[in-house]
Amino acid sequence: MIEIRELSKRYGERVALDRINLSVPSGAIFGLVGPRGAGKTTLLKILATLIAPDEGDVFIAGLPIVGEGLLRVRQWVGYLPEDFGVYPDQTCAEYVEFFAACYDVPSKERAALVADLLQLVDLYHRKDTPADRLTPSMRHRLGIARVLAHDPRVLLLDEMTKALDPRARVEARELLKELSGMGKTILITSSNLAEVQDVCTHAAIMQAGRIVQAGSLDEVLAATPPYRTIVIKFLGDAKLAANLIKAGKGVVEVQPLAEPGASSDALVGVALLKELRVTFDGAYADASVLLRSLMHSGVQVVAFAEES
Amino acid sequence: MRPFLPKLSSLQSPFRVSPITSKELAGRMRSARAYTVLTVYLAIVSGLAVLLYMVSSLGSPRAVGGSSAVGTVVFYFLVGMQVLLVSFVTPAFTVGAISSERENKTLDVLRMTLLTPAQIVWAKLISALGFTLLLLFATLPLFSLAFLLGGVEPFELIIALCVVFASALMYTLLGLYVSSRSRTTAGATTATYAIVLGIVLGIPLAALIGSSTVSIALSSTGGGPWPLLADLFDVVLTVAISLSPISAIVASQRFFGLTGDLWTFTPSFSGVGTWLTLPSPFLILTGVYLVASVILYVLAVRRVANIEQG
- pLDDT at residue A161, rounded to an integer: 73
Q: Do residue B109 and residue A101 have CB atoms under 8 angstroms apart? A: no
Residue B1 has pLDDT above 70, yes or no: no
Closest CB to B112 among A48, A85, A89: A48
- pLDDT at residue A263, rounded to an integer: 43
Specify the 3-state DSSP secondary structure of B265: strand
Range with the poorest average pLDDT among A73-87, B101-115, B200-214: B200-214
What pTM, to 2 d.p., does this model score? Answer: 0.76
Question: CA-to-CA distance for B143 and B141, rounded, in angstroms?
Answer: 5
Partner B contacted by A105 (CB < 8 A): yes
Partner A contacted by B114 (CB < 8 A): yes
Number of cross-chain residue pairs from A and B with Cβ atoms under 8 Å apart: 93
Q: Do residue B108 and residue A117 have CB atoms under 8 angstroms apart? A: no
Edge-to-edge, what's the strand order for the sheet holding A202-207?
A77-80, A154-157, A185-190, A29-33, A202-207, A210-216
For residues B125-154, average pLDDT: 83
- pLDDT at residue A226, rounded to an integer: 66
Closest CB to A99 among B22, B105, B113: B113
User: How distant is the alpha carbon of residue B235 from its chain centre?
Assistant: 22
Q: Under 8 Å CB-to-CB from A289, ≥6 apart: which residues?
A: A248, A249
For residues B33-47, average pLDDT: 87
Q: Is A168 within 8 Å of A137 (Cβ atoms)?
A: yes
Q: Do residue A81 and residue B105 have CB atoms under 8 angstroms apart? A: yes
Give ipTM to 2 decimals.
0.75
Partner B contacted by A178 (CB < 8 A): no
Specify the 3-state DSSP secondary structure of A106: coil
Question: CA-to-CA distance for A121 and A171, rounded, in angstroms?
Answer: 9
Range with the poorest average pLDDT among A105-119, A200-214, A240-254, B63-77: B63-77
Strands A271-280 and A251-256: antiparallel
Specify the 3-state DSSP secondary structure of A8: strand
Q: Do residue A109 and residue B4 have CB atoms under 8 angstroms apart? A: yes
For residues B89-113, average pLDDT: 87
The Cα of B39 is separated from the nearest Cα of chain A by a number of Å equal to 22
Model confidence band, residue A308 (pLDDT cutoffs 50, 70, 90): low
Question: CA-to-CA distance for B13 and B65, rounded, in angstroms?
Answer: 53
Residue B55 has pLDDT above 50, yes or no: yes
- pLDDT at residue B25, rounded to an integer: 86
Model confidence band, residue B15 (pLDDT cutoffs 50, 70, 90): low
* DSSP annotation of A54: S
Contacting residues of A for B8, CB less than 8 Å apart:
71-72, 75, 104
- If one compares B295 and B38, the residue with the highest pLDDT of the two is B295
Q: Do residue A182 and residue B1 have CB atoms under 8 angstroms apart? A: yes
Partner A contacted by B111 (CB < 8 A): yes
* DSSP annotation of A209: T
Closest chain A residue by Cα to residue B114:
A103
- pLDDT at residue B59, rounded to an integer: 62
Model confidence band, residue A269 (pLDDT cutoffs 50, 70, 90): very low
User: How distant is the alpha carbon of residue B224 from its chain centre?
Assistant: 39
